[in-house]
Each structure stands twice: as C-alpha cells, then as structure tokens.
Structure 1
C-alpha cells in the first residue's frame, strides 16, 4: 500500500470535515476570511500556516491534532509525523 503525503491527508480531512458540517467552500472562506480558491488548494494538499489550520480546527470543532493524526471517520490511513512536529503543535496551542 502506498501511503499518502501528510499534506494530502490533511487536505482530505479538511474536505471531509467541511462536508460533514454541510459547509460550502465559500462559507468556510467567509468564516476564515480567506479566498474560496485557497480552500480548494488546501483541500488538494497545500498546507497553510498553523494559524489557518487552527482556524479550521475551531470552525470544525476539532482539535488541531485531529487534523494531523488518524481519527475516527476521518481517515483510516495512519500518519507518521516526527515527534518534533507534534511538540511544535502542542507548543502552539
């Protein structure tokens, strides 16, 4: 099995959560004050800043770490990220 890059997995999680909430890309873009085309780019694998990822997490009512690790119903693919990345995310909280 070929594992996907973390940027693609995060994008897929964001798309899943957006659809689960019933939000359009335009609605998310307005809520986050960013361009709707940027939402599309992010969902296709462009990783935004931690600040924007945190805004997504708040909008979708999940923890930032939920976007970066395996979660129920979000992705069955396990992500392996270096310990320093998780330490950085915890520091940013």
Structure 2
C-alpha cells in the first residue's frame, strides 16, 4: 500500500511525463479512458491508480512503466572529475590503481592501472571471481594467463574470465598504463 508521499511522488512523475510529452489533462485522460478529474486527482496524490491505469498511462506517454517508480538519475553523481578520483597506491612497488567510475555501485567498474618499470602484479598468478576486459593505453606489458605468456602492446585488449589465473609484468623502463572494466566491481 502506498503512503500519501508515495502517491504524491507518483502523481508528480505522471504530471511531469505528461507535460514533457505536451499532453493536456483532457488529452491524456481520453487516451487512458478516464475522466480529467480522476487524472488530476492521481497527479495530485489524492487518488491511487490501479496497475491497469498505470500501464495505460505509461503506454500513452510512451515511457517504461518502471520509470514511474524510480528516482531520476543525478547526472552530477555520474561524473568523476580527473582531480577527484579515488586511488590505491602500493608504496613499496609504486603500483597505482585509479578508479575511473564514480563509485562501486552498479554492475561494472572502470579502473586505470599504472604499472611501474621492472615490476609485476604479484609473485604468482592469481585469480578472482568476476570478469574483466583490459586495454593497453601505453607501453608494452607481459600478461601471464594460466600457463600461457602473452605480450600486449598499446592498443591490444584482453578478456580475462572469472577464475582465470593471471599476472601482469612490466619488463620495460617506462610506465605501462592499462584501463580495465571489471564486473562485478571489486576495486
């Protein structure tokens, strides 16, 4: 059962969607086979629409039904400014991981890995749950996948499936940068 605040929020979302599509109360009411008075009461949170009425409203406004029940996305929370990123720096190795995603919510994260010269990610190949796709932004890196060794150069990419043992190694005298997406997030 909806509370009064929920009814008002739902009504406001319906009114906003109706206005954005350029429909008057009367026009939308005709499309959903309701009276303008009932639609006005729904928009003001004074009446609770049936599921069928909500479906007809969504279809008439050409919007997904679930959009009437979700919060609008705050665009500012989707942007991560270059000077405001979260980083993990390992002091003894100078390995750096920079979170490019705003946070760990959602189903995926983006990370920039900076591999210092003459270093490797671990002593032995490790595996983890989740999948990642990596893209070499700069430099040349050796990637050990299970018992295989692959050399990846700028522009190369690789998909590392869940549970696959892997190790990154930079044998060069310059930093290597690799950007990767991980799902689920594990930063």
| TM-score above 0.5, yes or no | yes
Q: 1:21 Cα deviation (Å)?
A: 0.7
Q: Which residue number in structure 2 is paired with residue 77 of structure 1?
A: none
* Cα-Cα RMSD: 1.6
Distance change in 2, residues 1:72/1:23 (3 Å):
farther
Q: Which residue number in structure 2 is paired with residue 12 of structure 1?
A: 12
Q: CA separation in 2, counterparts of 1:54 and 1:39?
A: 14
Partner of 2:34, secondary structure, is: coil
Higher relative contact order (CA 8 A, sep 6+): 1
Q: Which residue number in structure 1 is paired with residue 25 of structure 2?
A: 25
Q: Which residue number in structure 2 is paired with residue 70 of structure 1?
A: 71
Q: 1:71 Cα deviation (Å)?
A: 2.5
**Structure 2 length as normaliser, TM-score?**
0.36
1:42 aligns with 2:45: no
- Greater per-residue helix proportion: 1
Please identify the structure whose Cα radius of gyration is greater. Answer: 2
Aligned pair count reads 70
Q: CA separation in 2, counterparts of 1:6 and 1:69?
A: 11
- Runs of 4+ aligned structure 1 residues displaced above 3 Å come to none
- Greater per-residue strand proportion: 2
Q: CA separation in 2, counterparts of 1:71 and 1:56?
A: 18
Can you list the C-alpha shifts for 1:16-47, whole angstroms capped at 9, x where unaligned? 01110110001011111111100100000122
Partner of 1:51, secondary structure, is: helix
Gaps of 5+ in 2: 75-187
Q: CA separation in 1, counterparts of 2:50 and 2:22?
A: 24
Q: CA separation in 2, counterparts of 1:58 and 1:32?
A: 9
Distance change in 2, residues 1:57/1:15 (3 Å):
same
Gaps of 5+ in 1: 74-93
Q: CA separation in 2, counterparts of 1:72 and 1:27?
A: 28
